[in-house]
Amino acid sequence: MPVLERAGMQIWRRRTGRDSLIRWFGWLIGVAVFVYCWQIISASTTWFFVWDAPRIANDIWTRATPPRWEYITQLGRPIWDTLNIATLGTLIALCLAVPVAFLAARNTTPSALFIRPVALLIIVSTRSINSLIWALLLIAIIGPGVFAGVIAIAIRSIGFCAKLLYEAIEEIDSGQVEAITATGASRWQVMAYGIVPQVLPAFAGIAVFRWDINIRESTVLGLVGAGGIGLQLSASLNVLAWPQVSLILIVILVAVLISELVSAKVRGAII
Amino acid sequence: MLRLQKLSKTYKTGDQALTAIDLDVPKGQVLALIGPSGAGKSTMIRCINRLVEPTGGAVLLDEVDLTGLGPGRLRKARREMGMIFQEYALVERLTVMENVLSGRLGYVGFWRSFLRRYPQSDVDAAFRLLDRVGLLHMADKRADELSGGQRQRVGICRALIQQPKLLLVDEPTASLDPKTSRQIMRLITELCQERGLAAIINIHDVALAQMFVPRVVGLRLGEIVYDGLPTGLTPDKLTEIYGEEDWEATIEKVEDEEIEAAE
């Protein structure tokens, strides 16, 4: 008990003596484990390469600057592809995520025993595999190109969007749903009047957020041949054309900055 | 018009919320349902329009037993019963007009309601009701911009546009200040009189109930322990409903107000 009696006074401490001793011991073990791990990592590191790193980095930096600005004429199309992959992928994902979310939410699912686990399985399985791996699989199935990228992004995003959306659905105010039900509204009318208006801001926020993430993810899809600016990136890396690489990185940075700006504006407008 | 026969509700947890309630509400009668928290007032109201499924007994609305109805007939029956809620239960992100018109959902098809193409007669009715409760200028405002009293008026409009025979009113004043509470109670009772509506009003505030309502039903632990005139609520009766407490002050307050009103 944190309240102690000592010399007739009531003393209050946050923890009892035993409790703080246990905590102190816990910290001791934590630090010991950290030091031990550090030692193992250090033993298996070739320190020569690490000490060398600044020199190599400096070397690459001098090779990569200045960027080859005239190369930008060849980047317009790939960055447009990348934006399209992200946008189309997000749209497809949202279309598929909405029904999945309604089937997964505890308060709207038609059957908590049979359908909900299936919906949750879809969410978990699409979420757990990275879009780069989806792209690799899809390239094997439908061949390389932008389409594989779009589908990879779409599949990867279903789980993410559906999970956030079904959580939003589960948090709605049931009073509003009750009130609409009490007017004699049908199941679909209850959905349209009682539930949809309540989850609409969350939906818009999720859509923009995921689009933002997808722009970043789609920039690397080209590395495995799924279209977009990543194709140029991997081609330039393969021939060690560092000035082109630096220009591509700048273009990606600008694209991501713009997407971030747009999503911030949209989110501000909704909420 | 409304008759409850041996209506009972036992929750899955085993809590018996209502035990064989018998109640008769004639056409156009407004009655107040009082009782301590957990007495089953809300459950009883929700069992009538089956937002809560009763586990036994019958609810007869114009001699039709609502407890046995299928989904389609139940929706038709719900149109006859307008409901008003404690926390207003307006759809916060829709406009006042949309909220009022949502009372017509039982009469309009899905696509018409989805596209907000309500029949002109419904729109006219909505404007008339908003005018009646003094919120005509607010029709285009979003529901979450309104104050508590205004929201409850919108809730009343939504219930009335259903053209109901009966109002089920669940703690209409519990979230409102004393003055607004009286205004809302007055509005509800007036509107019921104008339209010949019956109403069951759940209410915590005994004094408020006594001021506005000709019949009071006291509920305790899921059973009716009082049914009669508001003036018959003696300290003994209140003790029976709520438990031991000094009731003189509550009752005196009402009498004072009645004298004031008479003057």
Q: The complex's ipTM?
A: 0.88
Q: What is the pLDDT of residue B123?
A: 94
For residue A173, give the chain B residue with the closest CA: B89
Tell me how far apart the alpha carbons of residues A223 and A236 are, in angstroms, rounded to a whole number.
11
d(CA B5, CA A259): 63
Range A74-270: architecture per CATH: Orthogonal Bundle (1.10)
Cα A149-A240-A135 angle, rounded to 5 deg: 15
- The better pLDDT of the pair B86, A12 is held by B86
- In 3-state terms, what secondary structure has residue A5? strand
What does the pLDDT read at residue B39? 85
AA identity, residue A77: R
Rounded mean pLDDT, A190-209: 91
Question: Does residue B258 surpass a pLDDT of 70?
Answer: no
A-facing residues of B in 152-191 (CB < 8 A) are 155, 158, 162, 168
Asked if B78 and B106 count as a contact pair (C-beta separation under 8 A), the reply is yes
Instruction: Determine which of B102, B144, B200 to mutate to test the interface with A (most A C-beta atoms within 10 Å).
Output: B102
pLDDT in tens, A150-161: 999 999 999 999
Backbone angles phi, psi at B250, to 5 degrees: -55, -45
Architecture of domain B82-163: 3-Layer(aba) Sandwich (3.40)
Give the least confident one: A222-231, B48-57, B164-173. A222-231
Q: Is B62 left (phi over 0), alpha (psi -120 to 50) or beta?
A: left
Residue A33 has pLDDT above 80, yes or no: yes
Type of residue found at A103: L
pLDDT in tens, B65-98: 998 888 899 999 999 999 999 888 999 999 999 9
Contact between chains at B76 and A184 (C-beta distance less than 8 A): yes
Nearest to B215 by CA among B35, B70, B36, B29: B29
Q: Percent of chain B, pLDDT > 70?
A: 94
Specify the CATH superfamily of domain B1-80+164-263: P-loop containing nucleotide triphosphate hydrolases (3.40.50.300)
Average pLDDT over residues B136-149: 91
Query: Residue B33: which pLDDT band, with cuts at 50, 70 and 90?
Result: very high
Contact across the interface for A186 and B110, Cβ inside 8 Å: yes
Residue spans in chain B of domains classed CATH 3.40.50.300: 1-80+164-263, 82-163
**How crowded is the C-beta side of B172, counted as CA atoms within 13 Å?**
32
Positive or negative torsion for Cα A200, A205, A206, A212: positive
> In angstroms, what is the C-alpha Rg of chain B?
19
The helix/strand/coil state of A138 is: helix
Q: Label residue B263 by pLDDT band (50, 70, 90).
A: very low
Question: CA–CA distance from A42 to each of A37, A51, A230 (Å)?
Answer: 8, 13, 34
Provide the b/e sequence for A103-119 (b: ≥16 CB within 10 Å).
bbbeebbeeeeeebeeb
- Position B260 scores a pLDDT of 52
Residue among B222, B225, B227 at smallest CA distance from B54:
B222
Interface contact B89-A179, CB threshold 8 A: yes
The pLDDT of residue B10 is above 60: yes
Which amino acid, one-letter code, is at A78? P
The predicted structure's pLDDT at residue A234 = 87
User: Across the strands, what pairs with B2?
Assistant: B25, B61
**Tens digit of each residue's pLDDT (9 = 90 or more) over B181-234:** 999 999 999 999 999 999 999 998 888 888 899 999 999 888 898 898 888 888
Question: Stretch A123-129: mean pLDDT, rounded?
Answer: 89
Predicted confidence (pLDDT) at residue B238 exceeds the cutoff of 90: no
* Rounded average pLDDT over A21-27: 94
The residue ranges of every structural domain in chain A are 3-63, 74-270
Q: What is the mean pLDDT of chain A?
A: 88
Amino acid B254: pLDDT? 54
**B113 to chain A: which residues are within 8 Å by CB?**
185, 189, 192-193
The answer to whether residue A181 neighbours chain B at the CB level (below 8 Å) is: yes
**Mutation site, A183, A189, A203, interface B, largest B CB count within 10 A:** A183
